[in-house]
Structure 1
Amino acid sequence: MIDKQSQVPIYHQIEEHIKAKIENGEYQPGDALPSEREYAEQLNVSRMTVRQAITNLVNEHYLKRIKGRGTFITERKFEQHLNGLTSFTEDMKVRGMKPSNKLVHFEIVPATTEISEQLHIAAHTPVYEIKRIRLAENIPMALERTYIPANLMKGLTDDIVQHSIYQYVEEELALKLGKARQIFEATLANEEESTLLEIPEESPILSITRITKLVDGTIFEVVQSAYRADQYKFILDLDR
């Protein structure tokens, strides 16, 4: 398994060995990793070499150290590619996972100054204010606050917002979604976010504001999302 004659550093071979066990399911999230001593004896290498491999995997978030207990396999993060405009529901279905929503708040309210500026509407114009917890396999992944001009999308109901708004917009209202701009920030969970996402207060979260337009340029929605940083990572492929 470890080729000491290879030009590939031994610590890197150990990293790939552990990664393979994680990928094939031999090591499950939450499992304890064998100790450095056990690995060193099993592979006939130094503990320092094993320690370097494990440290690298901790830095890459494959493993986590818990003081006084040992090293454990972390939960794998959901990967979200940023190459297209898709809904949370669509993203989870592509992964073969069951998406669901928990509706926290839904009503028509006057747009605040900030929201009216983002939607390009007059201040105090009626907007739908929708707050949902987005879940995958019943795990809270994100808290979304969505704002949609009420005059643009009449007839929105509790039942619709608990499923896919995008699906309703395109299939029932025959409106064509165009493009969106997303703004990312790293921040810490406040009391409400920590409670609804079931994470400790001031845990790291990814704060994302998305402004979506229809193909005719009309701004359709503003979505303010708080994604669990321990469950989600975003990927953007760039071409030169």
Structure 2
Amino acid sequence: MTDLTALTPIGTPALEDNIYVVDDPSSTKLPRKATLQQIKDLFKAVAETLTNKSISLTNNTITGTPAEFDTALQGDTFVYTSDGVVISGGALGTPSSGTLTNCTGLPAAGVTNTAMTLSDTQTATNKTLTAPVITYTLNAQTGTTYTPDINDAKKVITCDNAAAITVTIPPNSSVAYGTGSQINIIQKGAGQVTISEGSGVTINSTGGTSDAPKLRSQYSSATAIKIATDEWIIVGDIE
């Protein structure tokens, strides 16, 4: 700011509307005239504190180095990225609601009440599940033949027909169940259920016919467990 080295009154001194001549020793221009109130306003503007004030970045530009910003802005630490200035310190507050979509950079200790829902493709490896509830969907089949699909590893197949029913385990090339997958089958109707091998599939069981076990009677159940690429073991109420 230019030093105001001389204020020469014109007229009666000390009046708010008195006109002063403002001498600028650094300029060759003619002295400017201003009232005492105008001069007061000028000094007030220089020392103004930006409390509860808004700065329009449309009409104003704030310049400075990152270090100068850190020095000038107290109470928080700022990180400067290609996307702009990001607050890395300070409290995030306690929102009444909301969805956290990206928490990159947040300290783990600062994230609480993290209820989590696993999607169909997420795996909870080495995680402790407290009082988990697993609910299977029913797949009601009323025909005399059925070949399970990939979604049946998360369901219970009910077979309900008066005639005999054949459930065929498909080859891995057709339905790529993960090793360890289980298919649960219930004989709901009077028609006896036989679990048979698809092309290239090997079934082993304690049934009378090892590779084609039958459910023993109405309301019996069995589980087919995949133990290798095309190898399954059938366990349950079979004969």
Question: Which interval holds the TM-score relative to the shorter structure?
Answer: under 0.3
Task: Give the helix-richer structure, 1 or 2.
Answer: 1
Of structures 1 and 2, the larger Rg is shown by 2
Q: Which has the higher contact order (CA 8 A, sep 6+)?
A: 1
Task: Give the strand-richer structure, 1 or 2.
Answer: 1
